[in-house]
Structure 1
Amino acid sequence: MGAESQYRTPSGIEIREVYTDAPQVNERPGEYPFTRGIQKDMYRGRLWTMRQYAGFSTAEESNKRYHYLLAQGTTGLSVAFDLPTQIGYDSDHPMSEGEVGKVGVAIDSLRDMEVLFDGIELQGITTSMTINATAAILLSMYIALAKKQGADLSQLSGTIQNDILKEYAARGTYIYPPGPSMRIITDIFEYCSRELPRWNTISISGYHIREAGSTAVQELAFTLANGKAYLQAALKKGLDINVFARRLSFFFNCHNNFFEEIAKFRAARRMWAKMVSDLGATDPKAQMLRFHTQTGGSTLTAQQPLNNVIRVTHQALAAVLGGTQSLHTNGYDEAISLPTEAAAKVALRTQQVIAFETGVTDTVDPLAGSFFVENLTNEVEAAAWAYIDKIDAMGGSVKAIEQDYMQREIAAAAYRHQQEIENGERILVGVNKFVQPETTEPEVFRVNEEVRQEQIAKLALLRINRNEQAVQEALKKLAEAAASEANLMPCILTAVEAYSTLGEISDVLRNTFGEY
């Protein structure tokens, strides 16, 4: 490994041989700017939520996995949706062929949502839904089901990802142009501030930016820049930052460079507190950056997959030392297929061992005052602000995305990373060093190819049995609302409760807003 890259973080921050001093750490945990954590007692008061991201095939199959995970001690559900659901197509649409139930669960209507959460009381659990372009529809289905269960909506808690800007920059599951997409998001902010006060209306995601190949500094900078764009859009709509900013959360990746990841999380809290305060937030709850972490999917290797248990463990530990509010640990087999039940259990047990056996939860911010960590936190922060200043000079995140700035920066970082692996500058154990022939075939989780036909049959039955007049009236009112400046959420909820399908609702909005 070359001397220059050996002593730099993957973001290019130089690592000194020894650190002999550090910036003074005068703040206490739970106080502005929250570098040391958002709660004064952190995990002594309450552990992070242990989520396991799951969803595949049909609602029936995913429901079984949820009950399994809950029985194993998971404390929050995290729903993965298939690609057609993410981009607003019903399972019987030609565009859905080959993708139904593959990378998540297929949800075509409220009927599927009822099956997905069968036997699970929504008011008694927090649910995170990784959904963006169709977030308003899936949230409406969740609300409709909660109402049918008799839940108090003011007590309903969970998160929708609802972060469309990173879709344009890194992931690609957008439907409408940026302007209408931002309108839908601020409609959700406004609606939930009235009707679902405990619901996190957006999880501003750096995870997918990182999975696309960004560095830790780029992940931090681009995510906070996107967060700033959402703040400004909500302020423009006339919303109170001290109310809606309390319900914004973040979703970060945790990769292999242990100390850089911890520094990233500490810097993120400090930067967000300043950013929100500069825009007028005075309530400490509105200034706090709360975040979910997932271990790095792109760091997992198909070669020697059990090595991934070690990678996931130290990534999870970094997230905990960085002060995460909830955590998902990847299965060791995810470079090969969706996780098997055995891999999902090991992933959950990893969190439980960290929580109950290591002692790292016994004190708040155990690495505070470390010469290395405090210096690195400052350097990560300074590098991220440099990116944000460039984005601000372009006119903000939306303009930067439209000019392909973020996309180009991420692609360049991904290319450099791959070059370093291929020329041996960066060691990937089991891939370019300590390689061995694979002697056994790992167990692979496969989704039945008949899933699409099952979903098509369900849709046909749904359309026969529902009140078609109520569906058409609800869709007509939604079209009228979309053409006006009315909040779309009440109309989407009415359409969902009439058993309009996800594709039908998305098509109404496509007809008004167009596609990007």
Structure 2
Amino acid sequence: MDDLKKAYEEWQKKYQEKCPDKDEDFVTISGEPIKSLYTPLDLEGHNYLEKLGFPGEYPFTRGIHYNMYRGKVWTFRQFSGFATAKETNERYKMLLAKGQTGLSVAFDMPTIMGYDSDHPRAEGEVGRCGVAIDSLADMEELFDGIPLDKVSTSMTINGPAAVLWAMYIACAEKQGVPSEKLSGTIQNDILKEYIAQKSWIFPPEPSMRIITDIFAYGAKHVPRWNTISISGYHIREAGATAVQELAFTLADGFAYVEAGIKAGLDVDEFAPRLSFFFNSHMDFFEEIAKFRAARRIWARRMKEKYGAKNPRSWLLRFHTQTAGCSLTAQQPENNIVRTAFEALAAVLGGTQSLHTNSMDEVLALPTEKAVTIALRTQQIIAHETGVINTIDPLGGSYYVEALTDKMEEEAEKYFKKIEELGGVIEAINKGFFQQEIADAAYRYQQAVERKKRIIVGVNEYVEEDEKIDIPILKIDPEVEERQKRKLKSLRATRDNEKVEIALRELKDAARGTDNLMPYILNAVRVYATEGEIIQSLKEVFGEYKEKPIF
């Protein structure tokens, strides 16, 4: 190492003489300076078994499975939902026919916020940014002809996650599929809603109770289901750096583990079904390092701090979506290229499932052609590039390993700060996360405006008088009226006495300490609507209002 250090210093001197520059002029998207060259000196004292180990073995830096993609490629998912359940069902069947291997449900804003389609606050939003789901009847139509024991389904829903999950379970029952055979994920990550996405309903304390109720119910009755997808994706979309996404997401994960333990659950009872959801942005190597660091941090914390004994509790399993915030309205075909590189970074980082954004998503919900191109992008990576042939092919790269270590080091600083603030919920109440993300977003925008960071087609290589000439998916306003009529018909034909009893029993349970999932399921089965169930819980739990930060 002494010889190497001497040789490197001589080379560095020549480098600066011939082409002087500063590391701070070359930074990751997160703003971390990058050296001109990485060597074994950057990994001095690096213990291979401690830092890396082998795939499928602690600390899982190189992957959570022994054979990774040599055994099975990641799950191909396309986040999809629009208009009514009928139209979305048709899109799902098209995607499955084209080779998609898992479904991912996008809900509209009224559903996400816990409102029925005929609520005044739903006006103009029904079916616009996702599919409208008001009741079990809609869920049945959404999965009509799709056997739920044969497909894995992910549902991006948070505040009302328990209700939509109950609808899915009840829908499967209607198909004759027991809950023990269901596999999939509900996002169910309310902490990141307070931090970044802002689609909350209840205050933090009752929200955490509902989540731990879901943990307990899932462990007993739906054992193949991931009962939470702890999401860094929306934190990153809000403007966070890669380090912030890593640190804030894992901090949320630790908070959920602590909540489960506090609720009386054995950590090994629920931890194996915790999953994560990350963003894959444009800085290729930074993203790969982020995924590798996340696995290592999670494994160590679960084993050493929380005392998990089941090796499955140590595994950080994650879904990845390419960065929606990296897409541009200008020259939208460029988004195909951006998405391909982001998807490749996710694969090289060891993701378990992947969604690739469509080129037109910055303009509207994707057309059938655009979503097919996005799906084909994954298939080309899997079957034509050769990246699945060996496990963690970038492992051992001086740069990647140094960057992975740096990501871990910076994340640990954030963990310490969050702990000093009193934990995740206290940090939320104090506006810590919100301010950190806002500051990072501002710095990034400044870099773009000053051309310190080039965005092709936006601040450089701009085409004058550009005309965007790609098809756009438009939602017919009649969709909203159809959904309202369907809802009116449901209320007129169901057994409303049973609905009233189920909602009353749910409110009584919410005032006590019983697990709420059986009561929510009873309400769903008699066709109580999402809005009615959520309103019943609001009457007990209240609603959350964010404190303004100045």
Q: Output one character per residue of 1:313-336: Cα deviation in whole Å (capped at 9) or x when no partner.
A: 000000000000000000011111
Cross-structure match for 2:509:
481
Kept in 2: contact 1:216–1:260 (CA 8 A): yes
CA contact (8 A) 1:220 1:264 kept: yes
Q: Give, in whole Å, the separation in 2 of the partners of 1:378 and 1:487.
A: 41
Deviations, residues 339-365 of structure 1 (Å, cap 9, x unaligned): 110110000000000000011001111
Question: C-alpha separation between the residues in 2 aligned to 1:62 and 1:439?
Answer: 30
Give the distance between the partners of 2:22 and 2:36, measured in 1 at CA. Answer: 12
**TM-score, normalisation: structure 2:** 0.93
Q: Is the aligned partner of 1:359 residue 2:382? A: no
- Alignment of 1:500 onto 2:525: no
CA contact 1:333–1:343 (8 Å) conserved in 2: yes
The answer to whether the Cα contact below 8 Å between 1:24 and 1:369 also exists between their aligned partners in 2 is no
Partner of 1:108: helix, strand, or coil? coil
The CA distance in 2 between the partners of 1:396 and 1:317, in whole Å, is 35
Q: Does structure 1 retain, via aligned residues, the 8 Å contact 2:23–2:36?
A: no
Corresponding position of 1:131 = 157
For each residue in 1:168-204, what CA deviation from the matched residue of structure 2 results, as whole angstroms up to 9, or x when unmatched? 0101110000000000000000011100001000000
Q: Give 1:273-288 correspondences, 5 Å limit.
A: 273-277=299-303, 278-288=305-315
The CA deviation at 1:6 is 3.3
* 2:361 is the alignment partner of 1:342: no
Query: 1:431 corresponds to which residue?
Result: 458
1:449 Cα deviation from its structure 2 partner: 1.1
Give 5+ residue unaligned stretches, structure 1.
none
Q: Secondary structure at the match of 1:124?
A: coil
Q: Percent identity?
A: 59
The alpha-carbon deviation at position 464 of structure 1 amounts to: 0.9
Q: Does structure 2 retain, via aligned residues, the 8 Å contact 1:29–1:36? A: yes
Q: Does 1:413 align with 2:440?
A: yes
Determine the structure 1 residue equivalent to 2:79: 53
Letter of the 2:419 partner, please give it. Answer: D
1:8 paired to 2:21: no
Task: Provide the residue aligned with 1:148 in structure 2.
Answer: 174
1:5 CA drift (Å): 4.7
Q: Is the counterpart of residue 96 in structure 1 residue 122 in structure 2?
A: yes
How big is each residue's C-alpha offset from its partner over 1:403-452, in whole Å with a ceiling of 9 and x where there is no partner?
10000000000000001101111100000000003134321111111111
Q: 2 CA distance for matches of 1:247 and 1:114?
A: 25
Does structure 1 conserve the Cα–Cα contact (< 8 Å) formed by 2:23 and 2:35? no
Alignment match, 1:262:
288
Letter in 1 for 2:48: V
For 1:12 and 1:178, locate their aligned partners in 2 and report how far apart those are by CA, in whole Å: 32
Give the corresponding residue for 2:322.
295
Aligned partner of 1:86: which letter? Answer: I
- 1:182-228 alpha-carbon deviations (Å, 9 max, x no partner): 00000000011100001000000000000000000000000000000
Partner of 2:56: 30
Question: Which residue of the partner structure matches residue 244 of structure 1?
Answer: 270
Q: 1:72 aligns with which of 81, 88, 98?
A: 98
Whole-Å Cα distance in 2 between the matches of residues 160 and 353 of structure 1?
Answer: 28
- Using the size of structure 1 for normalisation, the TM-score is 0.99
Partner of 2:483: 455
List gaps (5 residues or longer) in structure 2. 1-20, 545-550
Does 1:490 pair with 2:509? no
Aligned length: 515
The structure whose Rg is larger is 2
Residues in 2 aligned to 1:464 and 1:424: alpha-carbon distance in whole angstroms: 60
What is the distance in 1 between the residues matched to 2:509 and 2:502?
11
- Other-structure match for 2:14: none
> Helix, strand or coil: the match of 2:149?
helix
Q: Deviations over 1:46-71 (max 9, x none)?
A: 11000000001100110010001001
> What letter matches 1:235 in structure 2?
I
Distance in 2, matches of 1:440 and 1:274, equals 49
- 1:3 Cα deviation (Å)? 5.1
Q: In 2, Cα distance between the equivalents of 1:4 and 1:467?
A: 69
Aligned-pair RMSD on alpha carbons?
A: 1.0
How far 1:4 sits from its partner (Å)? 5.7
Matches of 1:250 and 1:169, distance apart in 2:
16
**Aligned mates of 1:39, 1:56 — CA distance in 2:** 35
SS of 1:367's partner is coil
CA distance in 2, matches of 1:111, 1:271: 43
> Is this contact kept in 1: 2:247–2:412, CA < 8 A?
yes
Query: What do the CA deviations read for 1:439-494 (whole angstroms, capped 9, x no partner)?
Result: 34321111111111111100110011100111011001001000001100000000
Q: Which has the higher contact order (CA 8 A, sep 6+)?
A: 1
Report the residue type matching 2:537 in the other structure. L
2:243 aligned residue: 217
Question: What displacement does 1:280 show?
Answer: 1.1
The offset of 1:240, in angstroms, is 1.1
Q: Distance in 2 between matches of 1:161 and 1:331?
A: 21
Q: Which moved more, 1:448-457 or 1:114-123?
A: 448-457
Q: Distance in 2 between matches of 1:152 and 1:32?
A: 34
Q: Distance in 1 between matches of 2:493 and 2:237?
A: 42
- 1:441 equivalent in alignment to 2:460: no
Q: Distance in 1 between matches of 2:61 and 2:296?
A: 5
> Which residue of 2 is the match for residue 386 of structure 1?
413
Q: What SS class does the counterpart of residue 155 from structure 2 fall into?
A: strand
* Cα separation, 1, equivalents of 2:415 and 2:331: 39
How far apart are the structure 2 equivalents of 1:409 and 1:449?
A: 39
